[in-house]
């Protein structure tokens, strides 16, 4: 069976289900009153409370409270999880080798224990980052201006990597700094640092900040430094090749 669940299980039933789920490399979830201790790069202790414990097949171990987005305690993928019985209570342990970290959870009372043999081979597709903007501009350089010819991506300088380097229709060098969101003064300063590496260039060098919009102080600094701004929205399209269906049973 792909899905096994037990409501208000005894301690021995809780141990049996978690152990079975771990051996089958299933996604294990436990709704329980528990407490936790952590030792590693720091030390922490979490008193008794009602929480959701999640153990993933990749070794990730998470404890969620009924508030906030992030887990209150967690171990990353490739950690090693195991379950044991001690003095009639169930203990979960997650160990990470490098750096050495150990998270132990004492389950005082399990309300629901379940494991699921999930099948999921899909990767999350994301659009709208600077990398997507770069691909779009490289494919359609006229987005920046007519006659623009990109020549390098991630061009290394002493101050970092220039997103796109190219030339305009007159042969002048163009340095493009890309931002997928509203750009602030720090983006202008970053662009200005890149231009300093080309101070000895005999030809004209243009610095262009490419973003959907800029703050007022960023625009003022651009004008003071003789730099340019080009408003470009990042692409939002996702590459969806086929419909994905989920079979739960």
The DSSP symbol for 130 reads H
pLDDT at residue number 121: 84
Residue 201: per-residue pLDDT: 77
CA-CA distance, 182 to 127, in Å (whole number)?
Answer: 16
Question: What pLDDT, in 10s, does the model give residues 222-240?
Answer: 999 999 999 999 988 776 4
Same domain, 67 and 101: yes
pLDDT-based confidence at residue 49 (cuts at 50, 70, 90): very high
Considering its fold, how many domains does the chain have in total?
2
Statement to judge: residues 182 and 88 lie in one domain = no
Instruction: Say whether pLDDT at 69 is over 70.
Output: yes
Residue 174 has which token pair?
Answer: 């163009």
The helix/strand/coil state of 38 is strand
Q: Which domain holds residue 46?
A: 3-116
> Do both 7 and 110 map to the same domain?
yes
241 belongs to a structural domain: no
Contacting residues for 81 by C-beta, under 8 A, at least 6 apart: 22, 55, 59, 61, 75, 92, 93, 94, 95
Residues 141 and 77 in one domain: no
Q: What mean pLDDT comes out for the span 127-134? A: 87
CATH code where residue 86 lies:
2.70.180.20
Residue 171 lies in a domain: yes
Predicted model pTM: 0.64
Confidence of residue 21 (pLDDT cuts 50, 70, 90): very high
Q: Are residues 30 and 109 in the same domain?
A: yes
Are 14 and 48 contained in the same domain? yes
Does 11 share its domain with 102? Answer: yes
């Amino acid at each position: 069976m792909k899905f096994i669940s037990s409501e208000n299980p005894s301690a021995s039933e809780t141990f049996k289900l978690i152990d079975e789920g771990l051996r089958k490399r299933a996604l294990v979830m436990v709704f329980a009153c528990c407490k936790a201790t952590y030792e590693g790069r720091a030390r922490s202790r979490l008193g008794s409370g009602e929480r959701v414990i999640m153990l993933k097949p990749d070794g990730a171990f998470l404890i969620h409270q009924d508030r906030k987005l992030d887990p209150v305690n967690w171990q990353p993928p490739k950690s090693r999880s195991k379950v044991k019985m001690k003095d009639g209570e169930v203990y979960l342990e997650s160990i990470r080798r490098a750096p050495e970290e150990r998270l132990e959870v004492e389950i005082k009372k399990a309300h629901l224990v379940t494991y699921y043999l999930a099948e999921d081979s899909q990767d999350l597709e994301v659009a709208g980052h600077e990398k997507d903007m770069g691909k779009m501009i490289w494919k359609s350089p006229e987005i920046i201006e007519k006659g623009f010819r990109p020549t390098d991506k991630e061009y290394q300088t002493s101050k970092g990597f220039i997103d796109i380097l190219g030339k305009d229709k007159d042969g002048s060098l163009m340095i493009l700094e890309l931002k997928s969101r509203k750009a602030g003064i720090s983006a202008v300063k970053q662009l200005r640092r890149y231009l300093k590496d080309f101070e000895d260039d005999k030809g004209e060098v243009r610095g262009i900040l490419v973003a959907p919009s800029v703050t007022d102080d960023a625009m003022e600094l651009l004008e003071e430094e003789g730099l340019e701004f080009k408003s470009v929205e990042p692409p939002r399209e996702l590459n969806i090749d086929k419909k994905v269906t989920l079979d739960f049973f």
